[in-house]
Amino acid sequence: MAKKAKIDEIQTLRGLAFLAVVLQHAIGHYAYVPEAGLADGTLLGVWLILAKFAVPMFIFITGLVLFYNYPDGVPYGPFLLKRFKDIVLPYLLWSLIYAFFFGGIQTINGSNVLQILHDWATGKASYHLWYVVMVIQLYVCFPFVQKIVQRVYRALNHNPGVLRFGFILLCVGYVWLTGQIGEISRWAEELHVPLLTPLFTEYADRNAFYFFIYFLLGAAAGLNFQQWKQRLWNGRYGWIGLYAIVSSILMYRIVASFGEPVHIQYNATLLLQPFMAVFLLVSVLAVGVIAIAFHQKAGSKPIAWMAFIGQYSYGAYLAHAFMLTFSTAAADWLLPDSNMTLRTAVAFVLCSLLSLILAKLLGRFRIGRLLTGAPAPRKANA
């Protein structure tokens, strides 16, 4: 298969999504401490809204890259082998690290091997690993999904209006689906099917079926990227305006949920609910517009920095929960009398830097690359 031209905006989107994830988790650490007041809760709510695009964006990128790089079919065995090396193996190793440091496991023996296997299967070793479990499902299903998508795309490509209308209906159906998750969970509990029932009950938040729309949005972009990019850019003012509207509505919902007396909580931003589905679909497209504008307006150095962050984003993502522990401790030590908003900002910056530095350093060594999925450094030409 001939190597296709690189999409410049992809690393920028990866970098933005990684930074957004770190910001979300820094907010999660400080927003609920007793010292956090209404001002903290409100400003952190604004930051949280701006960062919520992260997980849908990562899924969108996965769909875009896969459909862009594999337009004509997938050799299933080599495809899965590469994803095991780049995605699954680093995940398994980091799961062990989190199990040892935070899960109370001191050595691997017969009494805890089942716990380790359970952590691997569910992503329970750390709060952020659920995403990897979910995206692995997308990789496993991709060759089969690709065949279906290609048939529909080829059948309707002569009539793009019908294709777009069909995708809009699919989005509407997805929004409706997110409102039925509780009912689906009750049905699954009654059926009690081994392996399948937990995916729709206890582990519904990492069921790839509930995130398929962002993957298919990436597929729509990857099948004809230049045309999709141009259409997105042509509608940039509409998407940014719509993003501002849905963000304002979400902010109102967040502040209204604080109640009297003030109790800070962000349940309105949970991913799998109807309004959030609308917000996240719009946010993915709005951030896409921002990435295009960034590459048109920014200089070479900012673009290079975002490319660096994007290149090491997966390894840094796996490591960032570990680094956040040290970053929040450092922020508390440096700013003992400061508000929670400032501590969140400091912890976010420290965690992002430490995670990226660690991923970069690990990527220099053959063994270290097993923890990051990073490619080997290129040798200089003779």
Closest CA to 211 of 59, 87, 314: 59
Q: Residue 293 CB: number of other CB atoms within 10 A?
A: 13
Query: Which band of pLDDT confidence, cut at 50, 70 and 90, is reported for residue 372?
Result: confident
Contact 232, 288 (CB under 8 A): yes
Do residues 44 and 340 lie in contact, with contact meaning Cβ atoms separated by under 8 Å? Answer: yes
Closest Cα partner for 283 from 59, 29, 131, 68? 59
Closest CA to 284 of 83, 52, 18, 32: 52
- What is the Cα–Cα distance from 23 to 326, expressed in whole angstroms? 15
Question: Given a cut of 60, is residue 378 above it in pLDDT?
Answer: no
- Note every long-range contact of 71-74, with CB atoms under 8 Å and residues 24 or more positions apart, other chains counting: 71/223, 72/1, 73/143, 73/146, 74/142, 74/143, 74/146
State the pLDDT at residue 366. Answer: 81
The pTM is what?
0.94
Q: Write down the pLDDT at residue 359.
A: 94
pLDDT 10s digits, 99-139: 888 876 766 766 688 888 888 999 999 999 999 999 999 99
Neighbours of 206 (CB within 10 A): 21
**Number of neighbouring beta carbons within 10 Å of residue 345:** 20
Rounded CA-CA distance 294/287 in Å is 10
* CB neighbour list of residue 365: distance below 8 Å, 6 or more residues apart: none
Q: Which alpha helices (H) appear in the chain, and where do they start and end?
A: 8-30, 38-51, 54-69, 76-83, 89-102, 113-122, 130-156, 160-178, 181-191, 196-200, 212-223, 225-234, 236-258, 274-297, 300-311, 313-334, 340-362, 366-372
pLDDT of residue 110: 67
When comparing pLDDT for 364 and 216, which is higher?
A: 216
| pLDDT tens track for 73-96 | 888 999 999 999 999 999 999 999
Task: Tell me what the mean pLDDT of segment 320-339 comes to.
Answer: 94
Interhelix angle 38-51/340-362, nearest 10 degrees: 30
The answer, yes or no, to whether residue 381 has pLDDT greater than 80, is no
Q: 355-366 pLDDT, tens per residue?
A: 999 999 998 888
Burial string for 39-59 (b: 16+ CB within 10 Å, else e) reads ebbbbbbebbbebbbbbbbbb
> How high is the pLDDT of residue 1?
52
| DSSP element (H, E) containing 124 | none
